[in-house]
Amino acid sequence: MTIVINGTTGISGIDGSAGTPAVQGTDTNTGIYYSAADTVDVATGGVQRGQFDSSGNFKFNSGYGSVATAYGCRAWVNFNGTGTVAIRASGNVTSITDNGLGDYTVNFTNAMSDANYSVVSIGTSDAINYTANVQIKNSSALATGSVQIQCYEYNNVAVKRDPVHVLLSIFR
């Protein structure tokens, strides 16, 4: 295989492999290689650890046991729903809307591609023997730009509450 060094297109010519990556440092079994068309792979110790495939999927092995597509958290927020309602920390969230007792809307900075995302949420209850629950208000509360939630404490009956901690993450 001929290595081509071109002032316009750069360096090309070798695909490499996990054991002998095309781009290496002084460690010859660690680097970047190209396992298929439109695909970039990363190897360490002669083993494939990550890949960007031809569909743009990012795959890695970080304890999964194989290199598999990673589905990232698209938005998250940790906020206090009591007293002076405030966001402690967040990602891809511009704001929350306090709609009323135990009722909030999380507004995304960058909208989701559709409303078929997954919401993982939990709240804290300071009352002993109560179970805190954060739920989606209704099916129309899942929107591309926001999600509306309602928070309850359960002890035989559901009572709407303002939790001290509301923790919510969006996956897609």
Partner 1 sequence: MNSRIIYPNDDGGVAIIVPAPECGLTIEEIAAKDVPAGKPYKIVDVADIPTDRTFRNAWEYTE
Alpha-carbon dihedral angle through residues 75, 80, 84, 89, given to the nearest 10 degrees: -40
Q: How far is the CB of 150 from partner 1 (least distance, A)?
A: 12
**In this complex, which beta carbon is closest to partner 1, that of residue 153 or of residue 162?**
162
The kind and range of the H/E element at 115 are: none
* Contact by Cβ (8 Å): 76, 93: yes
- Letters for 84-123 (x = contact with partner 1 by CB under 8 A, - = none) are xxxx-xxx-xxxxxxxxx-----x-x--------------
Report the largest interatomic distance among the alpha carbons of the chain, rounded to a whole angstrom. 74
Q: How far is the CB of 108 from partner 1 (least distance, A)?
A: 10
- Letters for 39-78 (x = contact with partner 1 by CB under 8 A, - = none) are --------------------------------------x-
**In this complex, which beta carbon is closest to partner 1, that of residue 94 or of residue 135?**
94
For the chain, how far is it from start to end, CA to CA, in angstroms? 41
Q: How far is the CB of 126 from partner 1 (least distance, A)?
A: 14
- The CA-CA-CA angle for residues 63, 68, 74, to 5°, reads 95
User: In angstroms, what CA-CA distances link 120 with 48, 110, 159, 171?
Assistant: 31, 18, 21, 8
Residues at the site binding partner 1, with contacts judged by CB under 8 A:
77, 79, 82-87, 89-91, 93-101, 107, 109, 146, 162
